[in-house]
Structure 1
Amino acid sequence: MSASDEAELVAWLKERSERIIETACARIFLAGDVAWKVKRSADLGYVDFRTVERRKWALDRELEFNRTAAPDIYRRVRALTRAADGGFAWEGGGEAVDYALEMRRFDDRAVLSNDPSVIDGDLAERLGRTIARLHAEAPLRPQGGDSALAFTVGSNAKLFAELKDRLDPARIDELITKSAAELERQRPLLQARRDAGFSRRCHGDLHLANILIEAGKPVLFDCIEFADILSDLDVQYDLAFLLMDLDFRGRRDAGVRVLSAYLDEAARRFPSSIWDGLAALPLMLSVRAGVRTHVTAHGGEVETARAYLEAAIAHMSPAPAVLAAVGGFSGTGKTTFARAIAPGLGRSPGAVVLRTDEARKRLAGAGPVDRLPPEIYTPDFYARVYDTLFETARAALNGGQAVVLDATFTEPALRARAQALAAECGVPFHGAWLAAPLEVLEARVGGRVGDASDATVEVLRDQARRHAGQTVDWRHVDAAAPSAATAAAWLKELTR
């Protein structure tokens, strides 16, 4: 399509639209409840859309790929043909001049990049689990994984070279050197994950600008369709874009909740252990920040690019792991406290929260908030749950990720086991013991809904009868006080 034909078509669509959104690859025409996406007729370097066949190929793939996560938005690809009067028509009898992807128009104010502050804990939880389910159901792509990450590391280095007149050359060289070295260090792990089935056809561009909230549910849209090397990925590298974006926007709290939920859901659905891959997470976060560095710099946002560059370098020098454990009777708010301290521990996005409540649901093959029958709670099952908790924590700690264990820890042997695990992994240990008056705990347990815990008031009273008055040498926390304040105070104590 010639430049004049393209201009004529754009003008024709513009007359029939209320608003146009311009991107590097496409134009989106908004009219009523419909959006039409038309690829630009251009060679952008990383993709060539100069032929109508290539543009249709991309739109067909975009429709196919996005229908998995957003079936209600992506509708069909339609031909734009020459009309008898020389104008254009939708699927007329004339020659197809171009093609458009028909989409349902949505409220773009509901896109998360507009206001990341709306991501509360429940939404972050849904995000993590939604992404894990999509990854587990995605087609295997054994040709991707480590090769896709290696491609982006090399691509970043080439594009950084064009920015040395705008960004600090020494910092650019530092990032290039560290990225290449860490890629080689992690390559055996990445290849093992590829062989274990963690290389899948992924979204590829999973940041906040491509996540929409409708009816309280996250909808992932606008995935990469034009280059398999950018979408056939290690699933954790796909997730890393969102985690990096949340971290960059000051939302580590949301990021670590997403990660914890993702890992729990993925552990239910993938046939191999998901936890070992955490060792490569800093590299993946850094590479994603590196992508944003050259994208924003080439877009003229130099100060933002500098900030991304510093973030990319920082991810390559992560804070060391620590192990924290939060114990107490049912109803003391252990999970709320654990999630409040998690962003302040270890490297980005914070400490993974591992709950016995979730581990037992995984072992039982139940959903995260399904109720388990009382008869399942045998001594053997109790032991298996804690074995799983500690095995998972060991894998995460050995991968460099901080961990918060969330369990009652009413037995002295289990508290000792947590401290021994930290010593075995060579990381500091911090214990928190939550306590509150029994009547406060009874009211909380009796009013719980939609949580992984199966504890009842009767279970709580049994805990109090068997363990009241015991001496616990972990730092005591007033569980009757607001958790945000007590968590902040507890974290502050760690730095003294």
Structure 2
Amino acid sequence: MDLCPAPTISSSMDQAATIALLGDAATHQGLAVERIDTDGAVIFLAGDRAYKIRRAVHFPHLDLSTPDRRRRVALAEVAVNRRTAPGLYEGVLAVVPGAHGRLVLAPAGPGADAAAVDWVVVMRRFAESGLFDRQAEAGLLTRDGMRAVADAVASLHESAHDETPDRPDRPPPGGVEAVRAAVAGALGALRLHPDLFDPPALDRLEGGLMGAVTRQEWLIERRRRSGYVRPCHGDLQLGNICVWADQPTLFGAAILLDEAGGQEGEAAGGGPAVIDVFHDLAYLLMDLEHRRLRPFANLVLNRYLEQTGDFAGLALLPLFISLCAAIRAHMTASTAAARRPVGAGASFRREAAAYLDLALSALNPRAPRLIAIGGLPGTGKSTLARMLAPEIGPIPGAVILQSESLRRRLLDAPEEGTLAASGYSEAVTARVYGEMAGRAGLVLEAGHAVVADAVYARPDQRADIEAVAHAAPVPFLGLWLVLNQQQATDEGRPKGERGGRGLGEMRWDILSVLGSAADVARRLLSQLTRPEPWRTEA
């Protein structure tokens, strides 16, 4: 017996003529037509254009059952996505009756709206190989590409300003009640699939999510009042990111219809998701984690923080990652339910269960800790930090605080190239190390882990970062990297026997980086499972 409800198909027969029209080469000046079917849309590729119609379906999470709702979604889709992908979205066409009862395409507008039976979003066509989910499946994602994605997300968030006023007849966008409503909606949809999702597991998830909202209520509201709730993308998964004009481009943004009805002239009664920017980022981090690509998720998080400095939002990541995974679980389950015959959606059912597991695990994060990595230039500090960070602390791993990167940002200097000698003055260096310690404290306070990457050649610099861990309090590990065993022996000698190097008393663990960085990282990570591996004293 199929206990998973399929989407209600209200008027699919009415769309048969529209589908025939768009699938006919004559509609596209004789060009060959390729058809792509999804559960919510049918897409036709012809020449350098893509034509998308929404299916007349009513999922628990999406109602497209009437022509008017499809009109509103189509117009809003183009308006919203032109923020991030203006070159991709060309406009909307109406499907209207023509001569002899045949359907034709016409520009959307007052003249066509009344007669239209359906609506078509017109996009520029791009290569499927340019989709980031395809690149992930093929193992072709790169660090440079994902850094550029993080930059695009940060740019969207920084440029977005929430112009949606609070309305007394509904919860404020992105506020506590709105987040609670999102949790309740996700859990309600998950409970429609009792054969797929274990009810006790859903009880644990609901309790965990609602408990997290209650604990973070003050922060959710403070961020809303401070302007961190903005018009966002709303569905930042890899499948909604493509390479266009040689740049990562965000498209396929979530569309929210104004169920209360918009005023005449408003953008089709629909608009973007207005949520906390960290809620938006969490979709992408969750998708990468689900695909077992945590190193890329860690990279995205760290690049985003470099660009925005929004460390306070870290405290909400476990909640938002869990909520995003729960939403994806019910959407995937709905897709599985729509597959006929029963059983055809087995892979989607397995994936939905994996999303639920992720939603539960995100609410039980690893404890934070602070690892400081010091050493002279060329000892591989940054490489080791990058390898350790994904394995430390909550999903998607530790925040990396890197002194050279911070120095350049404080000086407003380019990321590449040689800094002037003044950039390494005593005053600038003191400012950099002070900022490192301050940011480390903020991250730990938010419940996240830290990997601090700097030379740390002076005893006071090392003492300051240790003191941050002691104040948190969290476990601390200080590492001093050396290139060979002889150097390790030299660094371990008393101060007076080091030839004036000025390192002072070295209380940190001296680590020779002989061999590959991966081997060194594995040796260190193996210590994490030991009963007493880390010092906590300052």
TM-score by length of 2: 0.81
* Larger CA Rg, structure 1 vs 2: 2
Q: Relative to 1, partners in 2 of residues 1:307 and 1:54: Cα closer, same or farther, differing over 3 Å? A: closer
Task: Report how far residue 346 of structure 1 moved.
Answer: 1.0
Q: Relative to 1, partners in 2 of residues 1:296 and 1:372: Cα closer, same or farther, differing over 3 Å? A: same
Question: Number of paired residues?
Answer: 465
Identity %: 34
Task: Measure the CA separation in 2 of the matches of 1:41 and 1:402.
Answer: 47
The residue type equivalent to 1:284 in the other structure is: F
* Partner residue of 2:455 out of 385, 404, 408: 408
Q: Quick check: 2:150–2:304 contact (8 Å CA) kept in 1? A: yes
* Partner residue of 1:277 out of 313, 317, 325: 313
The residue type equivalent to 2:150 in the other structure is: G
Report the 3-state secondary structure (helix = DSSP H, G, I; strand = E; otherwise coil) of the residue aligned with 1:467.
coil
Matches within 5 A, 1:284-295: 284-295=320-331
Task: Report how far residue 54 of structure 1 moved.
Answer: 3.2
Task: Measure the CA separation in 1 of the matches of 2:60 and 2:297.
Answer: 33
Could you tell me which runs of 5 or more consecutive residues in structure 1 were left unpaired when the two chains were aligned: 268-273, 438-463
Q: Relative to 1, partners in 2 of residues 1:18 and 1:472: Cα closer, same or farther, differing over 3 Å? A: farther
Q: Quick check: 1:398–1:425 contact (8 Å CA) kept in 2? A: yes
* Partner residue of 2:44 out of 29, 46, 51: 29
Tell me the equivalent position of 1:67.
82
> Could you list the per-position Cα deviations for residues 248-268 of structure 1 after superposition, in whole angstroms to 9, with x for gaps in the alignment?
21111111111000011012x
Q: Relative to 1, partners in 2 of residues 1:140 and 1:372: Cα closer, same or farther, differing over 3 Å? A: farther
Tell me the equivalent position of 1:453.
none
Matched, 1:131 2:161: no
The residue type equivalent to 1:388 in the other structure is: E
> Could you list the per-position Cα deviations for residues 217-240 of structure 1 after superposition, in whole angstroms to 9, with x for gaps in the alignment?
322110112347971110001110
Task: Measure the CA separation in 2 of the matches of 1:11 and 1:180.
Answer: 47
Tell me the equivalent position of 2:380.
333
Task: Report how far residue 320 of structure 1 moved.
Answer: 0.2
* Partner residue of 2:284 out of 242, 251, 254: 242
Task: Measure the CA separation in 2 of the matches of 1:164 and 1:472.
Answer: 59
Q: Quick check: 1:156–1:290 contact (8 Å CA) kept in 2? A: yes
Task: Measure the CA separation in 2 of the matches of 1:124 and 1:336.
Answer: 17
Task: Measure the CA separation in 2 of the matches of 1:420 and 1:193.
Answer: 29
Task: Measure the CA separation in 2 of the matches of 1:477 and 1:145.
Answer: 47
Q: Relative to 1, partners in 2 of residues 1:390 and 1:81: Cα closer, same or farther, differing over 3 Å? A: same
Tell me the equivalent position of 1:321.
368
Matches within 5 A, 1:337-356: 337-356=384-403
Task: Report how far residue 122 of structure 1 moved.
Answer: 2.2
Matched, 1:202 2:222: no
The residue type equivalent to 1:482 in the other structure is: S
Task: Report how far residue 406 of structure 1 moved.
Answer: 1.0
Matches within 5 A, 1:131-150: 131-140=153-162, 143-146=172-175, 147-150=177-180
The residue type equivalent to 2:519 in the other structure is: A
Task: Report how far residue 436 of structure 1 moved.
Answer: 2.4
The residue type equivalent to 1:318 in the other structure is: P
Q: Quick check: 1:282–1:315 contact (8 Å CA) kept in 2? A: yes
The residue type equivalent to 1:278 in the other structure is: L
Q: Relative to 1, partners in 2 of residues 1:112 and 1:229: Cα closer, same or farther, differing over 3 Å? A: same
Q: Quick check: 1:123–1:216 contact (8 Å CA) kept in 2? A: no
Q: Relative to 1, partners in 2 of residues 1:238 and 1:364: Cα closer, same or farther, differing over 3 Å? A: same
The residue type equivalent to 1:289 in the other structure is: A
Report the 3-state secondary structure (helix = DSSP H, G, I; strand = E; otherwise coil) of the residue aligned with 2:468.
helix
Could you tell me which runs of 5 or more consecutive residues in structure 2 were left unpaired when the two chains were aligned: 1-9, 26-31, 165-171, 258-269, 337-347, 485-497, 531-538
Task: Measure the CA separation in 2 of the matches of 1:492 and 1:176.
Answer: 34
Report the 3-state secondary structure (helix = DSSP H, G, I; strand = E; otherwise coil) of the residue aligned with 2:396.
coil
The residue type equivalent to 2:278 in the other structure is: Q
Instruction: Return 142-151 or 173-182, whichever deviates more.
Output: 142-151
Task: Report how far residue 481 of structure 1 moved.
Answer: 3.1
TM-score by length of 1: 0.87
Matched, 1:433 2:480: yes
Give me the CA root mean square deviation. Answer: 2.5
The structure with more helix, counted as a fraction of residues: 1
Q: Relative to 1, partners in 2 of residues 1:75 and 1:478: Cα closer, same or farther, differing over 3 Å? A: farther
Tell me the equivalent position of 2:241.
211
Tell me the equivalent position of 2:190.
160
Q: Relative to 1, partners in 2 of residues 1:3 and 1:246: Cα closer, same or farther, differing over 3 Å? A: closer
The residue type equivalent to 2:288 in the other structure is: L
> Could you list the per-position Cα deviations for residues 186-218 of structure 1 after superposition, in whole angstroms to 9, with x for gaps in the alignment?
111011111111111111011111122357632
Tell me the equivalent position of 2:306.
264
Q: Relative to 1, partners in 2 of residues 1:188 and 1:141: Cα closer, same or farther, differing over 3 Å? A: farther
Task: Measure the CA separation in 2 of the matches of 1:475 and 1:39.
Answer: 60
Tell me the equivalent position of 1:190.
220
Task: Measure the CA separation in 1 of the matches of 2:123 and 2:296.
Answer: 30
Task: Measure the CA separation in 1 of the matches of 2:507 and 2:465.
Answer: 13
Report the 3-state secondary structure (helix = DSSP H, G, I; strand = E; otherwise coil) of the residue aligned with 1:245.
helix
Q: Quick check: 2:54–2:64 contact (8 Å CA) kept in 1? A: yes
Q: Quick check: 1:66–1:74 contact (8 Å CA) kept in 2? A: yes
Task: Measure the CA separation in 1 of the matches of 2:473 and 2:454.
Answer: 22
Report the 3-state secondary structure (helix = DSSP H, G, I; strand = E; otherwise coil) of the residue aligned with 1:154.
helix
* Partner residue of 1:478 out of 480, 499, 512: 512
